[in-house]
Amino acid sequence: MASLTTMPNRGYTPDLPNEIVVLIIQKCPRATLKNVRLASRSLAQLADPYLWRKIVLVPNDQCILGFVKAMKRSKVARHVTKLTYDARFGSFFHSIKNITPDPALSYTKAEKAQGERLLERAAQGRFQPYEDMSVEVAILIKALRMLPNLREIRVWDYEDTLEMRGDSSQLKVPFFYHKMCQLVKIDPKVVNFCTMAGSSGRSYTKGVLTAAFSAGNRLYTFKTSNVDGRALFGVVPMKPAVALQQLGIYHEVMENLQSLELAFRNDTLVTTANHIQALQSLLRAAKKLKHLRIRLTDCSVSRYQYSDDELMSDLVGLLETPTGGWVSRSLLPRLETLTIDACICHDEDLMQFLKIHSSTLRRLELSNITLLGGEDRRECWVKLIKHFKTDLKLALISFSGWFSNGGRQQWFVAKDSIGDNRLKARVEKYVVDKCICECPLEHIAIKANQSDVEKPGNGEEYEGDLTWTMVYSKRFGDQMDWQLTVPSFGVPSTGAGSAVIPAIDEMDAFEIPFTDEVWESDNLITMSDDEMAAAGFTIVNGDLATKQSPFVYISNGIHPSPPPGLPPPEYGTSSGNGWSYSPGVSTPEPSPPPTPPLQSIVPAPPLQQSALKSIYI
């Protein structure tokens, strides 16, 4: 590479070689890259490949055709290697009409009329659910043919409002929608894009795959999220000829992929429509695939909407042969990294899928997996983890999210280990380290001749620690609030194998701000643990709460204010134990216990201000 020392710039000679300049440019944000390329032609040659390597389009003919028109006489098309097709904000044009323009921005009646006319034209150009896909595919083909070096496509398919909720300022919104806001003099910063999710009924992933096939793009990476399996594969079994034609298009796109991410929406993979078999066909076509991330059925938030008879393993269809047996050869002969974000399966299905790829598989990441099994014999996660150690050749394994066997093995695993002495880190090290013989979870495994994890005789359940927490259900029919993303952490019992919760200042993790208001614990009704349990409350042995558990309060003399919309606790204890109640779970009305005498509780020493301000996990 030529040095920038030959660059004529008033006799100034840079001290850095071009290789170092390129490394700096790679780290610059896009706004900085725009200024870098304006400094000189030599810097423009270095900055352009990084400035134009990624573009974002939305399912709207005005956006795509505008991009095609801009690229006709431009030289930047050859720099584009990544394309994002963002279909999340389907109700934008309906919602934007209800927002008042910024009064600080003055504009004439002619400008107002022109902006409204352009906005209306763009609203008509949106590709609607349940309409024909031919126009969208034709326009996308024209755009993709102008990108000769395109190697990666990311499709953001339909997402509902709950999945998009959060801080709108942290949401990456395509510039096309910002431009539409500017046309009608609306500040994009005041627009809540989280409420602009569209409606389902269309697979934008299907349109992009078809267009990429027709355009002849050689893709190495394809990522898609919230795919509707019914729209992608059809709602009824397709005729053999039609199925072969449609899947043949997908096969052509898949055959060169090295990285694939497929995340399906819940309850959209229809077994009677052979969707799992179609997915197996896609994976078989990706012979060069090294990295696979897949999300099938997430049963962690909807476990009790179904009975065991209604649930079928997601992996059976991937492993079955036409004769009804199990495949013995790998579907993906070069697979190195496998990430399963959500799945319901039997333990033997999961192990068979991993075994046939064990010769190349070195990294495994699991989260939100439910093992299927009857009440007479639950499948054991501890046994499965032992098989990971003995039957696979993993260099790295990671657990996160919910893990369940439908019975008393209900675990929540954090994403971060915090420290090597934490239970999550110890379990993961046990799997990959052949020198470690004893599994850290052995004492909560299902013993021989038992249908589930045995309840301890003294009633003290092993709760794990902050990184691997056990949440026990009494029986399959019990109602549980599965809407929680994390459980209520507590200090483990003092029994054998209990982990030690670290001090607050020892943890290096997240913080939760609380208000400065506190509740004084004067003249509260004191109840025993048995009385509280009879009243439907859950005892938590500790003073720590999770950041996303809105109904856990610290009863250590001073109580932090609850989140907005929740009432203050009606009962408390003077023992320093925290307790929780779930307003979303209905419990039978208990018979009223004997009214204990009112007493004035002497408040415990106040918590430090830092402890009131934040709770760490």
- The answer to whether 61 touches 138, Cβ cutoff 8 Å, is no
* Whether residue 607 has pLDDT greater than 80: no
Give, in order, the Cα–Cα distances in Å from 309 to each of 3, 306, 312, 406, 474.
69, 8, 8, 13, 20
Residue bearing the bigger pLDDT, 163 or 462: 462
Residue range 445-462: average pLDDT? 86
Instruction: Give the per-residue pLDDT at 587.
Output: 43
Query: Residue 51 — pLDDT band, cuts 50, 70, 90?
Result: very high
Evaluate if pTM is beyond 0.85. Answer: no
Q: What is the pLDDT of residues 150-160, one digit of tens each?
A: 999 999 987 76
Q: Which pLDDT does position 545 carry in this prediction?
A: 37
Return the pLDDT at 505.
Answer: 37
What pLDDT sits at residue 167?
Answer: 60
Residue 121 clears pLDDT 80, i.e. is over it: yes
* Residue 205 contacts residue 181 (beta carbons within 8 Å): no
Instruction: Look at residue 245 and tell me whether its pLDDT is greater than 50.
Output: yes
- Are 256 and 288 contacting, i.e. CB atoms less than 8 angstroms apart? yes
pLDDT for 13: 52
The Cα–Cα gap between 155 and 437 comes to 44
Helix and strand numbers (H, E) in the chain are 19, 16
Average pLDDT over residues 226-234: 86
Q: How far is CA 331 from CA 276, 326, 327, 339, 445, in A?
A: 14, 12, 8, 15, 32
- For 202, the token pair is 């269309």
Q: Which residue has the higher pLDDT, 205 or 509?
A: 205
- Res 506: pLDDT: 37
Helices (H), 370-464: 381-391, 423-432
Q: According to the model, what pLDDT value does residue 467 have?
A: 94
Q: Which residue has the higher pLDDT, 606 or 309?
A: 309
What's the DSSP call for residue 189? G
The CA-CA-CA angle for residues 58, 62, 64, to 5°, reads: 50
Relative orientation angle of helices 109-124 and 175-183, to the nearest 10 degrees: 140
Query: How large is the average pLDDT for residues 27-42?
Result: 90
Residue holding tokens 């134009």? 52
**68-82, 193-207, 527-541, 558-572, range with greatest mean pLDDT:** 68-82
Per-residue pLDDT, 354? 97
> Which of 132-141, 347-356, 437-446, 596-605 shows the lowest per-residue confidence on average (mean pLDDT)?
596-605
pLDDT of 611 > 70? The answer is no
Given a cut of 80, whether residue 558 has pLDDT beyond it is no
pLDDT-derived band at 458 (thresholds 50, 70, 90) equals confident
Q: State the CB neighbour count (10 A cutoff) for residue 87.
A: 25
pLDDT in tens, 286-319: 999 999 999 998 887 655 445 555 678 889 889 9
**What pLDDT, on a 0 to 100 scale, did the predictor assign at position 130?**
79
SS3 of 170, please?
A: helix
Q: Is the pLDDT of residue 597 over 80?
A: no
The pLDDT tens digits for 500-521 are 333 333 333 333 333 333 333 3
Alpha carbon 47 to its chain's center: 33
DSSP 8-state symbol, 543: S
In this prediction, residue 232 has a pLDDT band, given cuts at 50, 70 and 90, of confident
Question: In 224-272, which ranges are continuous DSSP H helix?
Answer: 229-233, 240-254
Q: Is the pLDDT of residue 562 over 60?
A: no
Q: How confident is the model at residue 493 (pLDDT cuts 50, 70, 90)?
A: very low
- pLDDT band (50, 70, 90) for residue 201: confident
Mean pLDDT of the chain: 76
